[in-house]
Amino acid sequence: MPDEVARFIADHITSVEQLEILLLLRSTPEEEWTARAISESLRTSEQSVSRRLADLESGGLVASRPGSAQRVYQYAPATDALRDGVTNLSSAYTELRYKVLDSIFSNPISNLHVYAEGFRFRKDRDG
């Protein structure tokens, strides 16, 4: 896998779910997506998608705006370097999927996020 792809993953991608969200939005750059629509498309939790979208937005990879009922997101890299990074990542994922996945799972930041998620306190439905 090219070094620039490994660096991009280390700097911007913390999970496979986040990667799949990014690549979904990239595949339809003119379309706006809600977290619910993404979660239905990828068959994952809307709450998890919302967290991943917030991370992608803070990383300059997607943009959002208030929609009629929910916030909508669109693929919108803030710089040409980010756009090129996503293009290279997409190519690598197509050609070397197992190496990209291995890189994500071996990323220390990714591991830290997974570990931290286990300690996140959530309010239960009853109170």
Q: pLDDT tens across 26-60, in order? A: 999 999 999 999 999 999 999 999 999 999 999 99
| The predicted structure's pLDDT at residue 1 | 86
| The predicted structure's pLDDT at residue 103 | 93
Q: What is the pLDDT of residues 83-122, one digit of tens each?
A: 999 999 999 999 999 999 999 998 765 444 444 444 455 4
Closest-CA residue to 1 (of 107, 114, 76): 107
Euclidean distance between CA atoms 21 and 35, whole angstroms: 10
Give the residue-averaged pLDDT of 64-75.
90
**Tokens linked to 7:** 């660096």
Question: What residues contact residue 113 under an 8 Å CB cut-off, 6+ apart?
Answer: 14, 15
Task: Report the predicted TM-score, pTM, of the whole model to 2 decimal places.
Answer: 0.81
| The predicted structure's pLDDT at residue 108 | 65
| The predicted structure's pLDDT at residue 127 | 46
Phi, psi torsion values for 62, nearest 5 degrees: -135, 160
**Tokens linked to 56:** 């992608």
> Across the strands, what pairs with 71?
66
| The predicted structure's pLDDT at residue 67 | 78
| The predicted structure's pLDDT at residue 109 | 53
Euclidean distance between CA atoms 2 and 20, whole angstroms: 20
- 66 or 86: whose pLDDT is higher? 86
Phi, psi torsion values for 68, nearest 5 degrees: -65, -40
Compute the chain's Rg from CA coordinates: 15
